[in-house]
Amino acid sequence: MHEAAKQLGVTPRTLRFYEEKGLIHPYKAIENKYRDYSIEDVIRLRWIISLRELGLSVSAIQDALNVINEPDAFIRSVDGARALLYEQWITATKALQALDETISAWHRKGAAELTHAELAAEEIKQNRLSRASWSDQWNYDEIAIQHGYKAPIITLSGILSEEQYNMALLRTVEWLDPRFDELGLEIGAGSGNLSSMLAAAGTKLTVVEQSTEMLSIIRERLPAIDAKQGNLLALPLAPSSYSFIGCSFAMHHLNRSQQLLALEEMDRVLVNGGRLVITGLMDEDVVDDDKIHSEEIKTKLAIPPNWHLSSVSEHLNWFNKRGYSTVINRLTPYVGLLYAIKP
């Protein structure tokens, strides 16, 4: 063990820890329990140590190592762990910002008041719970397997015709006006139908999608783009990175509070002067998910009960408070396009 630890630049205690967690199973001599690490064991330990330094948890490393001989599955596993790391980083960053604001308030007041801390903590808690409460209730992995690139059209059948869907994507591209070599982002990319249009303009495109099977379709269709696993509430991306953001028919998978968190994430990764287009199910009068008006529309359009129309007024108010210039373009009575430019 000591020789292996020295070779790998770690302590024997670290190797024992990995063994206790079931990550490594070296041969043990019966007579003295001396551990003998084979070449394969050392290579496995190199993977473990590297992935641990890269921030993966022990359980995430175990999941990845279980499919290490299947390259696509291994990469998907590590990609999923990366998305979780970004979510944790975003939560920690928000908490640090809230703490800074609380300390500043205490300085201005000349006293450390409990109410300041409680209000900041409650906001962080609610945002964290909103992020954690999101899950794929629609089994998009299975939908992707069954329907391929037509999966988004299938899910919208009865609400939009295929012609209307394609027209909505074309209008989204027109409003985004992607330029050659420009850094662009699509979130909630589905099977890559909008992605293919944006990539055709020669942009350097990154896409984010939560479904691993949808991502597989995108990577097969568009191998040159950067496809990452993640969701709209915790984009696995660095701040102020993209000149434009496109999002089509994805926001209805988020409830009202989650939609506002998604807008915060878009704002975080968009550069100053950047532009975004959100296309999807929208209604002027929807303010809360339990409004009778909203339920009437869902019934009328056969919208699934766990889908949520976006409130045009609420979203416009959110953008306007932050100095964005905005335009609403109606595609059908309940499908719209929101265009916004960051100041």
Quick: pLDDT tens for 109-156: 999 999 999 999 998 998 888 888 888 888 899 999 999 999 999 999
Question: pLDDT, tens digit, for every residue of 165-176?
Answer: 999 999 999 999
The CATH code of the domain that includes 17 is 1.10.1660.10
- For residues 181-186, average pLDDT: 97
* Helical (H) or strand (E) element with 62: helix 58-66
Residue 41 has a pLDDT of 92
**Residue 214 pLDDT > 80:** yes
Is the pLDDT reported for residue 291 higher than 90?
no
For residues 315 and 337, give the distance between their C-alpha atoms in angstroms, rounded to a whole number: 12
Q: Which of 110, 133, 156 is the last residue of a domain?
A: 133
Confidence of residue 35 (pLDDT cuts 50, 70, 90): confident
Neighbours of 222 (CB within 10 A): 19
- What's the structural domain count of the chain? 3
- Whether 192 and 322 share a structural domain: yes
- Is the domain of 117 the same as that of 165? no
End-of-domain residue from the set 36, 66, 96: 66
Parallel, antiparallel or unpaired: strands 183-187 and 310-311: unpaired
Q: Are residues 95 and 156 in the same domain?
A: no
**199 and 320 co-located in one domain:** yes
pLDDT band at 290 (very low <50, low <70, confident <90, very high): very low
Dihedrals phi, psi of 278, to nearest 5 degrees: -110, 120
**Contacts (Cβ under 8 Å, ≥6 apart) of 334:** 281, 282, 283, 297, 301, 309
User: Measured at the alpha carbon of residue 246, what is the angle toward residues 135 and 301, in degrees to the nearest 5?
Assistant: 60
**Same domain for 245 and 334:** yes
Q: How far apart are CA 211 and CA 129, in angstroms?
A: 21
* pLDDT at position 285 over 70: no
Which DSSP letter does residue 302 get?
Answer: T
Residues 15 and 86 reside in one and the same domain: no
Q: What is the mean pLDDT of the chain?
A: 91
Average of pLDDT values for 54-75? 94
Residue 202 domain boundaries: 140-341
Average pLDDT over residues 53-62: 95
CA distances (Å), 137 to each of 42, 52, 140, 170, in order? Answer: 41, 31, 8, 28
- pLDDT at site 135: 83
Domain CATH code at residue 210: 3.40.50.150
Look at residues 298, 197, 206 and name the one whose alpha carbon lies nearest to residue 243: 206
Regarding whether 160 and 36 lie in a shared domain, the answer is no
Reported as a pLDDT band with limits 50, 70 and 90, residue 27 is confident
Q: Is the pLDDT of residue 210 over 90?
A: yes
Q: Report the pLDDT value the prediction gives residue 289, as an integer from 0 to 100.
A: 46
What was the pLDDT predicted at 288? 46
Residues 76 and 204 in one domain: no
Res 6: pLDDT: 86
Q: Rounded CA gap, 4 and 24, in Å?
A: 13
DSSP type of residue 127: H
pLDDT category at 207 given cuts 50, 70, 90 is very high
The pTM (predicted TM-score) of the whole model is 0.84
pLDDT given for residue 296 in this prediction: 67
**Strand-pair category, 183-187 with 242-248:** parallel
Same domain, 81 and 172: no
